[in-house]
């Protein structure tokens, strides 16, 4: 299992140390951009994303929780940006996927807990990542919604059946036990915020997810 710590719950006053503390064992750094419209919360914008990219050697996995992702794709295109993921519930998300690929980055599509896999079926052959939310997007520290496991399984079956290449990533409510359930359902990457950043020994926490 690949692990992407979510920087959302880190201490931003000590950003450099926080990034250092998760470097070992992590595969990506998950970066949540929120606009206060698509979700009822605001996190940070491209200027902070740029700083994260400069301070950490980890590839950035950028999760755009914004109403108009097409306006933000180019603004989060930094040298260490690996994935840019847009929500299927956002405006012009299909054009955003095209734009992400055009600028040479890997494109992801994300579905909220109430959005079905059927909604994104036509886009599955084009994307590099499908992000399944384990909670309602907007805040860290919520409990994993068990019914999302079925979607992971569905995406995993479709991937095998059609030979698709996307990663199956799960975000929200991840701990050692939900990560295991996600792995069994076919997930390839888990995102974890509070499970990693609310504890001193981060290396151990990351290992337990792997
Ligand atoms: C929530 C964000 C997540 C969040 C996960 O909307 O997309 O990345 O940081 O936090 P935990 O792991 O605490 O559920
Ligand atoms: Zn996220």
pLDDT tens-place string over residues 62-103: 999 999 999 999 999 999 999 999 999 999 999 999 999 999
Which one of 27, 32, 35, 61 is the catalytic residue?
32
**Collapsed DSSP state (helix, strand, coil) of residue 140:** coil
pLDDT tens-place string over residues 139-181: 999 999 999 999 999 999 999 999 999 999 999 999 999 999 9
Tell me what the pLDDT averaged over the chain comes to: 98
pTM of the model: 0.98
Instruction: Determine whether the shortest distance from the Cβ of 191 to ligand 1 is under 6 A.
Output: yes
Q: Pick from 144, 193, 195 the residue to mutate for probing ligand 1's pocket: most ligand atoms within 8 Å of its CB.
A: 193
Using the Cα atoms of residue 202, residue 1, residue 7 and residue 151 in order, give the sign of their dihedral.
Answer: negative
Domain boundaries, the chain: 2-209
166 CA from centroid of ligand 1 (Å): 21
Which one of 27, 61, 128, 171 is the catalytic residue?
171
Integer CA distances (angstroms), 176 to 15, 75, 131, 163, in order: 25, 34, 19, 29
Alpha-carbon span 6 to 92, nearest angstrom? 26
* 27 given a catalytic annotation: no
The torsion angles phi and psi of 67, rounded to 5 degrees, stand at -70, -40
**Structure confidence at residue 126 as a pLDDT band (50, 70, 90):** very high
The answer to whether the CB of 72 falls within 8 A of the CB of 47 is no
Instruction: Determine whether the shortest distance from the Cβ of 140 to ligand 1 is under 6 A.
Output: yes
Fold classification of 2-209 is TIM Barrel (3.20.20)
């Amino acid at each position: 299992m690949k692990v992407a710590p979510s920087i959302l719950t880190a201490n931003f006053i000590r950003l450099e140390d926080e990034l250092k503390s998760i470097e070992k064992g992590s595969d990506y750094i998950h970066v949540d951009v929120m606009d206060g419209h698509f979700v009822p919360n605001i996190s940070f914008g491209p200027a902070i994303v740029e700083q994260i990219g400069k301070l950490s050697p980890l590839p950035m996995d950028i999760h755009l929780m914004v109403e108009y992702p097409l306006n933000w794709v180019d603004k989060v295109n930094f040298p260490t940006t690996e994935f840019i993921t847009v929500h299927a519930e956002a405006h012009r998300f299909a054009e955003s996927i095209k734009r992400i690929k055009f600028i040479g980055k890997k494109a992801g599509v994300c579905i909220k807990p109430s959005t079905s896999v059927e909604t994104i079926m036509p886009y599955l052959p084009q994307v590099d990542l499908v992000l399944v939310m384990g909670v309602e997007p907007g805040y860290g520290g919520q409990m994993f919604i068990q019914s999302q496991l079925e979607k992971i399984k569905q995406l995993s079956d479709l991937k095998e059946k059609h030979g698709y290449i996307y990663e199956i990533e799960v975000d929200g409510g991840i701990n050692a036990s939900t990560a295991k359930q996600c792995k069994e359902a076919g997930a390839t990457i888990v995102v974890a915020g509070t499970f990693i950043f609310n504890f001193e020994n981060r290396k151990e926490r990351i290992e337990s997810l792997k």
